[in-house]
Amino acid sequence: MPTATLFNYTFSLTQPNPDAHVPPTIRKVVIVGGGSAGWMAAMMLADALLPKGIEIQVLESPVVGIIGVGEGSTPWLRGFFDKLGIEEAEWMPACNATYKCGITFDRWSTRPGFESYFHPFASMLDNLTMTQFVHNVNARVAGADVYAHPNRFFIASALSEQNLAPKPNRNFPFDVWYGYHFDAVLLGQFLQKKAIARGVKYTSCHVKQVQLDERGDIATVVTDAGETIGADFFVDCTGFAGLLIQQTLKTPFVSFSNNLFNDSAVAMPTPLGEDIPSQTVSTAMKHGWSWKIPLTERFGNGYVYSSAFCSADEAERELREHLGLLDSPTPARHLKMKIGRVTKHWNRNCLAVGLSQGFIEPLEATALLFIQHTLSNFVEFLEAGDLGEAAQERYNQRVNDHFEGTRDYIVTHFKTNNRTDTEYWRANASNGNLSEPLQELFRMWLSGRSIVPDVTRQTLGRGYPVFSWYCILAGMGIFPEPERLRAPTKKEARYKMSEIDNLLHRSALNFRKQKELLADIPRKTAEEALQIYLW
């Protein structure tokens, strides 16, 4: 039976292991790149390696900027900070961060009653309503006219509807899972300062050459100031450039462009309103979708689209129209995205982390989770003392499974749309380039059989847990047409929605407005945060 459990063995964060023996061949690690990936890598590796006397150095180019977007997280970011012993009260104000209950998907489906749905972060409390949700969804798939839209079954969705933060009063007996929204630039600066304080070395320099030894491993990098820097192990965090993993080691790249069409984005901020929402909103646009992310000082907005279907100018115009900024001087940032993954995230003495290892478009804000997952698994292998080829293969399989499972979940958003307004949406709905596990999952769902075995046994479950698959398929309204529904049997109609509404309503009384809760955390303006963290 599916439960509210979000945990998946592939996601488990490793615990510090003071007795672990890192192979003596590794005495120095060089991380090239100082974006979110570079500094998250520095922090996680510092935690595991500095106590063992291993040196860590970050090299960051003063001429290549960071991508500077990436403002939404999954609940796993909480584990990242917890494990490093960094309190919310410290990092959240520094990064203008807010709490996130999940994501609303607006206008992705035109099926009556299913024009919008919420993908919640599941919680312990949802164990009280998960059985009812799955029961009703299964009954509706089987043709019974019972209520099966996900929004009325989850506490996170009840909270986000009222702009409540997912942090209950002290006496509330259930933990509630949540993610965050944050300013990506401030996050990088915060982590940089922390990493340096913990003993990571930092050099501002542009790497212009990567030199291999006679075996083909990376031996040194050469900076444009002519300095040669060597290490036993290198971490490529150079973003889409993939300077070490792709350009130097020639690790093959598997493109996902045949089932994820979006390759571009345009972003611009808007002012906050009266309240601070506790959700990301993803709205279907003509040739892609737009995000709206609340921070403490502004909304981050953007339009992710496919350049095969519209130009950058058209996309910017449509986004401005959507945001009411048609005549505004607010500048827009245009970005290109490379969607797919390398075949080997760990290749020879190099680990690729972040955009250099691959990227699945940001619809479910999973990129920082990939960074965490890539690193925590690597530390696990490192501490097991096994750096051989077989270990590398097992490791790469694990990371690839995570990529494939997540890719399939994102593809499902596009494949199950029934919009007919543009060629973009029609092409997505008719796209037959689906992985075998995903095709099987759709067959099972449409034939009324359980999707649980498919999700748990296949790579699909390495990306998302069962309840998320139920949410997306039910939320998009993948049920028999309304005219084909019949009256439910007594067994099918055994759960009363009024009881669930009541439970969630009473539970929500234990939570406060996001704005009010954040006011309790001493807040800094963007300028103050910059001054403090730009040492």
Active-site amino acid positions: 100
Residue 413, amino acid:
H
Kindly state the smallest distance separating residue 334's Cβ from ligand FAD, in Å. Answer: 10
Rg (CA), the chain: 23
φ and ψ of 145, to 5 deg: -85, 75
Question: Contacting ligand FAD (CB under 6 A), which of 49, 67, 164, 360?
Answer: 67
Question: Contacting ligand FAD (CB under 6 A), which of 2, 34, 168, 294?
Answer: 34
Please tell me the number of Cα atoms within 13 Å of 523 on its side-chain side.
15
Distance in angstroms (rounded) separating the CA atoms of residues 344 and 160 = 39
Closest to ligand FAD by CB, 20 vs 272, is: 272
Closest Cα to residue 460, out of 432, 479, 434, 441? 441
Three-state SS for 48? helix
Give yes or no for a contact between 199 and 45, defined as CB atoms under 8 angstroms apart.
no
Residue 241 contacts ligand FAD per CB under 6 A: yes
Residue 379, amino acid:
V
Kindly state the smallest distance separating residue 248's Cβ from ligand FAD, in Å. Answer: 11
Distance in angstroms (rounded) separating the CA atoms of residues 325 and 295 = 19
Single out the segment in contact with ligand FAD by CB under 6 A; choices: 90-98, 145-153, 232-240, 322-330: 232-240
Residue 69 contacts ligand FAD per CB under 6 A: yes
Three-state SS for 368? helix
Single out the segment in contact with ligand FAD by CB under 6 A; choices: 57-65, 102-110, 423-431, 517-525: 57-65
Give yes or no for a contact between 510 and 169, defined as CB atoms under 8 angstroms apart.
yes
Residue 117's H or E segment, with its range, is strand 116-120
Kindly state the smallest distance separating residue 366's Cβ from ligand FAD, in Å. Answer: 6
Angle, nearest 10°, between helix axes 389-415 and 423-430? 120
Give yes or no for a contact between 337 and 386, defined as CB atoms under 8 angstroms apart.
no
Closest to ligand FAD by CB, 239 vs 437, is: 239
Distance in angstroms (rounded) separating the CA atoms of residues 507 and 159 = 9
User: What does 458-496 look like in DSSP terms, one character per residue?
Assistant: STHHHHS-HHHHHHHHHHTT-SS-GGG-BPPPTTTT-S-
Kindly state the smallest distance separating residue 235's Cβ from ligand FAD, in Å. Answer: 11
Kindly state the smallest distance separating residue 58's Cβ from ligand FAD, in Å. Answer: 9
Residue 36 contacts ligand FAD per CB under 6 A: yes
Single out the segment in contact with ligand FAD by CB under 6 A; choices: 5-13, 145-153, 234-242, 317-325: 234-242
Residue 14 contacts ligand FAD per CB under 6 A: no
Residue 61 contacts ligand FAD per CB under 6 A: yes
Kindly state the smallest distance separating residue 178's Cβ from ligand FAD, in Å. Answer: 15
Question: Contacting ligand FAD (CB under 6 A), which of 4, 37, 200, 451?
Answer: 37
Distance in angstroms (rounded) separating the CA atoms of residues 237 and 59 = 10
Distance in angstroms (rounded) separating the CA atoms of residues 323 and 281 = 13
Residue 302 contacts ligand FAD per CB under 6 A: yes
In this structure, what is the dihedral angle of CA atoms 316, 321, 324, 329, given to the nearest 10 degrees? 40
Kindly state the smallest distance separating residue 187's Cβ from ligand FAD, in Å. Answer: 8
Please tell me the number of Cα atoms within 13 Å of 434 on its side-chain side.
23
Single out the segment in contact with ligand FAD by CB under 6 A; choices: 66-74, 122-130, 321-329, 446-454: 66-74
Binding mask 261-290 for ligand FAD (x = CB under 6 A): ----x-------------------------
Residue 59 contacts ligand FAD per CB under 6 A: yes
Closest Cα to residue 416, out of 481, 477, 352? 477
Q: How many CB atoms lie within 10 A of CB 290?
A: 23
Residue 66 contacts ligand FAD per CB under 6 A: yes
Residue 64 contacts ligand FAD per CB under 6 A: yes
Tokens standing for residue 143: 């043709």
The set of residues, in sequence order, having a beta carbon less than 8 Å from that of 279 and lying 6+ positions away, is 100, 101, 102, 103, 104, 118, 160
Kindly state the smallest distance separating residue 359's Cβ from ligand FAD, in Å. Answer: 6
Closest to ligand FAD by CB, 40 vs 473, is: 40
Of 327-386, which residues contact ligand FAD (CB under 6 A)? 335, 337, 354-356, 362, 365, 367-368
Closest to ligand FAD by CB, 305 vs 381, is: 305
Residue 102 contacts ligand FAD per CB under 6 A: no
Distance in angstroms (rounded) separating the CA atoms of residues 474 and 467 = 10
Residue 463 contacts ligand FAD per CB under 6 A: no
Three-state SS for 265? strand
Give yes or no for a contact between 184 and 36, defined as CB atoms under 8 angstroms apart.
yes
DSSP tag of 521? S
Closest to ligand FAD by CB, 76 vs 395, is: 76
Closest to ligand FAD by CB, 103 vs 474, is: 103
Of 174-213, which residues contact ligand FAD (CB under 6 A)? 184, 206-207
Site size toward ligand FAD, by CB under 6 A: 38
Single out the segment in contact with ligand FAD by CB under 6 A; choices: 69-77, 103-111, 381-389, 412-420: 69-77
Question: Contacting ligand FAD (CB under 6 A), which of 30, 31, 56, 71?
Answer: 71
Residue 532 contacts ligand FAD per CB under 6 A: no
Kindly state the smallest distance separating residue 12's Cβ from ligand FAD, in Å. Answer: 19
Give yes or no for a contact between 422 and 284, defined as CB atoms under 8 angstroms apart.
no
Single out the segment in contact with ligand FAD by CB under 6 A; choices: 29-37, 143-151, 159-167, 305-313: 29-37
Distance in angstroms (rounded) separating the CA atoms of residues 437 and 454 = 7
Binding site for ligand FAD (CB under 6 A): 32-38, 59-61, 64, 66-67, 69-73, 184, 206-207, 237-239, 241, 243, 265, 302, 304, 335, 337, 354-356, 362, 365, 367-368
